Structure 1
Amino acid sequence: MVKPFTLIAVAVLALPTAAAAAPWRDEPAVTALFRDAGVVGTFVLLDEGRGELRGHNRKRAEQRFSPASTFKIANALIGLSLGAVRSVEEVIPYTGDANPFMREWLQPMGLRGAMKVSNVPLYQPAQL
């Protein structure tokens, strides 16, 4: 049986290759969501069945950006699927730097609380 982490890793690694050759289709409903919320952003979905990219803000999607905190979402899902963390409420001890970037990080917390304060050390792979 293929482990969830392997499936996620393969999907993440294959996406840029598959996406590079796919035609783009704007999704007006998604564009409306961004407009109504008053935010600048990008959404891209690879529709494998149709062999196309669907989304909002193609020009921005083609720009490179630092992934910033997006790794926290993937790490949380991987940790939960592999059983490294049983739930979003399970308390994980703080084992990071004694002088972290944010004082709020200096305490044990669950994934839900850590997401609210952007607790980078808790979401690093060694923690989960």
Structure 2
Amino acid sequence: MAKQKAVIAPVFLRVKAFIVDMFFIAMPLFYITTYLVLGSKEAFQSNQIAIALIWLAYGTICAVFYAKSAQSPGYKFSNIYLIDLRSGRKISFFRAFLRFLCFILAGFSMIGLLICFFRKDRLCLHDILTHTAAVRKSDNG
């Protein structure tokens, strides 16, 4: 069986996948923490530890999805996969979590997220640092 060819997913597909992941993974975590655990919006807004723990839980859940099937719910919806650039295979949980941490750090400067618009391969800083890429199956092969 021949190897499936893949191309780096367009930026708009990756953004769409991120938005879907926010709604399917992050929003329930925020809701449960705000109203079931802390009891009110005011308690949530004043609890930075809870917010940080939600983002760590979000990153962990996404890393599990990437390690298990190379797709989060948003990636599945957008029909893209997260792969290792060197081997073409799915990445480990630890590498996926490291990618999430790099994404958070890259987001603080915004340069790490906007760098994809200035690179021919369209990779963001967190993908460059972890040697990963969001790809989709090639139309011609």
Band the TM-score falls in, shorter-chain normalisation: under 0.3
TM-score, length of structure 2 as denominator length: 0.23
**Structure number with larger C-alpha Rg:** 1
Structure with the bigger percentage of helix? 2
TM-score, length of structure 1 as denominator length: 0.25
